[in-house]
A and B are shown apart, each in its own frame.
Chain A
Amino acid sequence: MSCEELQGHYELYAMGLAEEPERSEIREHLDRGCEVCMAELKRARALSAIVSGSAEPAEPSLQLRRRILASVGVERQRLRWWAPFWGVAAVMGLFAALYFNGRERDFAALLASARQQARDQAIELTKLNEAFAIVNGPDTTEASFGQGQPQPPKGKVFVNPSQGVLLVASNLPPARTGKIYEMWIIPKGRMPVPAGLFQSAGDGTALHVQRGPVDVDATGAVAVTVENEGGAPQPTSQPLIVAAIPPRGPAPR
């Protein structure tokens, strides 16, 4: 087909709606560097943008902005940056409160905030310590997942018989509102066992630790599914991640 005959199909192609044979024809023109088609498609994309931008204006909720920023760690980062100052502020608040011997409510709020900060940091630190313990364990077995697939979550699973299971993933977008990721330890020939709930960060990374002893030799795989918030006793969806646990070598004498 000539470029002229393809007129009227560029817009559909730009929207992913072109049908055969025009779709293949346009592709062929593009593959051979047809400048007419490239210019037409550019114009079609411009038209698409303008039409898309002409939708009746609507107002999202005020929470949406915060939600989006939190999902890439903006709020967390701010808090981390301010963390040392929170400590100082808490101490100053303590002295001020004692000195003025009055504003108990302000002091209590400040102290609660500082405590929350400390608690959050302690949780994060504990989680990292657990992860290091599993990764560095001499008897830890390691399995990869997602390799060789077009667009998967990728990563590794580490299983330690005494410490537990660590999952590290990338390309795992945060589960939608009302949903959460659930990890499963799948014993060979038996039903999956729940191994904790987690959410990925806004950049698609996730780190999840399930503490406790694991019978590595009896474990066939570690998997992850999307479940409703609160989790499920058994998987209710197809797994996004399946890491087959390789058999361990003979124990060192």
Chain B
Amino acid sequence: MTLLPLILALRTESDADLIGRLQRRDPEALAELYDRYGRLVYSLILRVVRDTGVAEDLVQETYLRVWNRVQGFDAEKGSIGPWLLAVARNRAIDYLRSTTGRARSSLELETTEHPALYTDMERDLLASDKARHIKAAMQKLSPHQREVIELAYFEGLSQTEMAERMGQPLGTVKTWVRTALKNLRDELGTVMAA
């Protein structure tokens, strides 16, 4: 069932309790975190790197990174799922860049995964209905718009890199990105309001 990982992500123990246990270095909390988000993290990383062995190495790296950095997380306001996915995406994109010779400073990726950025987010942000809405919204995009969104989220390409990859003028790519993101933003607004 395609939405199983998302459904499994919705568990009863609050994020605050789980983060508190992780901060007290309770290894069982890491098991809980894996049970809750492991498949989601693995699916995302596999989507980016497309190699099961590498994906598992990067999932391990993701969890270790979170384990080592969770002290900086706000247990009361933090949203650990979105943070975990940001860390996972960055590990995967970083790996992809290193293998495709697109070595860029990983510092910029690092700044996007600071724990303090993932606070006060909606509680059930990763609920299956939201992902379903976004997926439906992505299907409504034109093929070019969908492609640029996938290149950004799952391959970590900047607009200039997308233009080179697609052999299209930068201005055209920027228009596709802008329109696609607006549509997704509007969809997100609808979902949040629902």
Contact = CB atoms under 8 A, between A and B. Distances in A.
A, B: real partners: yes
Interface residues of A, number: 47
B28 interface: yes
Given A19-B160, A202-B67, A65 B39 contact: no
Contacts of A74: 27-28, 30-31
A246 interface: no
Interface residues of B, number: 74
A60 B153 CA distance: 21
Contact of A16 (B55, B108, B125, B188): B108
Interface string B23-60: 00001101100110011101110110000110111011
A1 interface: no
Interface string B81-121: 11001101110000000000000000011011000011011
A19 B160 CA distance: 8
Nearest to A13: B112
A48 B149 CA distance: 11
B39 A69 contact: no
A56 interface: yes
A15 B162 CA distance: 15
Would you call the interface of chain B mostly helix, strand, loop, or mixed? helix
A53 B153 contact: no
Contacts of A72: 27, 30, 64, 67
Contact of A50 (B1, B134, B182): B134
A117 interface: no
Contact of A55 (B47, B108, B125): B47
A45 interface: yes
Nearest to A204: B68
A23 to B, nearest CB: 9
A49 B85 contact: yes
Interface stretch (A94-102, A159-167, A172-180, A216-224): A172-180
A19 B125 contact: no
A61 B42 CA distance: 10
Nearest to B90: A16
B185 interface: yes
Contacts of B35: 65
Contact of B44 (A11, A42, A55): A55
Interface string A1-17: 00000011001101111
Interface in A54-113: 54-61, 64-65, 67-69, 71-74, 77
Contacts of B86: 45, 48-49, 52
Contacts of A45: 82, 86, 117-118, 121
Given A19-B160, A45-B117, A52 B31 contact: no
A16 B65 CA distance: 18
9 contacts: A12-B158, A15-B89, A16-B156, A18-B158, A46-B188, A57-B1, A58-B43, A65-B35, A177-B57
